[in-house]
Amino acid sequence: MRQREIKVGIGFATGRKSFQKVLRTYIHNWNESGLVGNEKISLNLYIAYDLDYHKTKVTDYTNIKPELMEQINSSRFIGSSSIEEEIDWLAQNNVVSIREARLIFGKGYAAKRNALLYNAIKDNMDCLIFLDDDEYPVAVTNTHETAIWGGQHVLATHLKHIAQADITHGNHCGYVSPIPYVEYGEIMTEENFRAFIEAISNDILNWDNIKAVMSNGGVTYADTGVLTSGAASEVREINRAKFISGANLCINLTDPRRVFPFYNPPGARGEDTFLSTCLSDRKVLRVPCYTFHDGFSTYNHLLEGVLPTRLKFIRADNDQIITRFYRACIGWIRYKPLLLYITTPDSYEEKIEEMRNQLRETLPKICVYFGRPDFINILDELDKYHKNVRIHFRAFLETQRVWAKVMEQFVQSKLASGFKEYLAQYSSGGVR
């Protein structure tokens, strides 16, 4: 009996003109890893684009060279108009109301990721891998004081493990952290900077991790042990969360009822972190592959095959780097109240007050060191999002409720179309 074709969705939430170069690199990577032309695997591209992020136009995403498009099975481009059409369709078919649909497909990073998930599930994909337009399928290690590079079969690695898990996520190297290298002195002591980082950080973004990265000049190097092991490991729950990343991330879609939506408070980030808090009874595997995060958009030449022997220190000596750090701090502080409210409800008020005290003490020094008085806004943002944390928590739960209604509709449609036998067979074969 012929084996059923595995339908793989590949999702990009993008807003950069460099997307085309990144996509070309990944398609060549899929070809080199043996996925293109494999009759057992169908590769399907999903692109949710944002025209406002870097003032781009639709053709920056849709004008993909024919010789590249020939190597994938299908493509779907998701802009604001197509999202509105789906909202109308859901309302007209009495699945959810327009107000409810906008909880899923509103604004922000979470909404783009939900649009990718939704379309992949609607198209009966078996899984969806999220890739970012500033991450490349290569790993860099620091061996004998020089950078050593190696290609990574990111998609192939996820496909090897996703049938045995609800979620697989890989590793990241390169400029993962937006925190620049800080030279300590009278203006900024290590104790001051540590207190600031601890105030805005979470269980993954913590001082020990940041200090190690800063000692490498802001660069995260790949672990050679991970690269050579070939083994996946189960992600354990830490403080009510199984932490994942938003890209180099694959979600098993064979049973839509087991899929959660993304969520972030308005104007904040953290959509991957909030998804992490939903995964207590899900199997999450960390798989042995890396992507290189080009967080400052300074290593596009990697896509042309130019591999540097040393990676630059990220110093706070230009406005681009300081602005990126400032925006990251604002994004973190906007989502931390909700994260604390979800993970430590019994000590929430105490932790917020502790953050306030740390920020009051350290922000004046941060402003002077980086030459940016607007860093003081971080304290106002904390108070604003603390004030609204219960509203955001209700929206977080409501988004899950609405999403579950949509997923149940999809499941019933699949059962009616003869999907029941396959779903039962797949579910009995592993953790699902």
Report the distance separating Cα 265 and Cα 396, nearest Å: 8
CB 26 within 8 A of CB 8: no
pTM of the model: 0.92
Residue-level pLDDT at 425:
47
**Residue 232 and residue 133 share a domain:** yes
Distances (CA, A) of 114 to 18, 108, 403: 23, 10, 9
Element (H, E) at 252: strand 249-252
Q: Are residues 130 and 194 in the same domain?
A: no
Asked if residue 103 belongs to a domain, the reply is yes
Count of domains in the chain? 2
Q: Do 193 and 122 share a structural domain?
A: no
pLDDT of 134: 93
For residues 127 and 259, state if they share a domain.
yes
Query: Is 260 found in the same domain as 129?
Result: yes
Instruction: With respect to residue 208, please indicate whether it lies within any of the assigned structural domains.
Output: no
Can you state the angle between helices 80-92 and 109-122, rounded to 10 degrees? 60
Q: Are residues 309 and 368 in the same domain?
A: no
In a domain, 211, yes or no: no
Q: State the pLDDT at residue 148.
A: 93
Based on the fold, state whether residues 287 and 170 are members of the same structural domain: yes
C-alpha 256, offset from chain centre? 20
Question: Which residues are bridge partners to 252 per DSSP?
Answer: 127
Residue 209: predicted pLDDT: 79
For 229, other C-beta atoms within 10 Å of its C-beta total 11
pLDDT for position 109: 87
Domain-located, residue 299: yes
Low-confidence spans in the chain with pLDDT less than 70: 1-3, 203-205, 414-432
276 shares its domain with 360 = no
Q: What is the pLDDT of residue 404?
A: 97
The DSSP call for residue 220 is B
Q: What is the structure's pLDDT at 3?
A: 62
Q: Residue 59 sits in a domain of what CATH number?
A: 3.90.550
Pair 330, 288 in one domain: no
Query: In which domain, by residue range, is 247 found?
Result: 6-180+217-313+395-427
149: β partners: 140
Q: Are residues 188 and 66 in the same domain?
A: no
pLDDT for the residue 179: 86
Q: Is 144 in the same domain as 91?
A: yes
The Cα-based distances of 297 to 8, 20, 68, 176 in angstroms read: 28, 14, 24, 12
DSSP state, residue 15: -
Closest among 158, 160, 141 to 150, alpha carbons compared: 141
pLDDT, position 367: 97
1 domain residue, yes or no: no
Q: Residue 167 falls within a domain, yes or no?
A: yes
- Residue 207 falls inside a structural domain: no
272 and 337 part of one domain:
no
14 falls within a domain = yes
Q: What is the pLDDT of residue 414?
A: 67
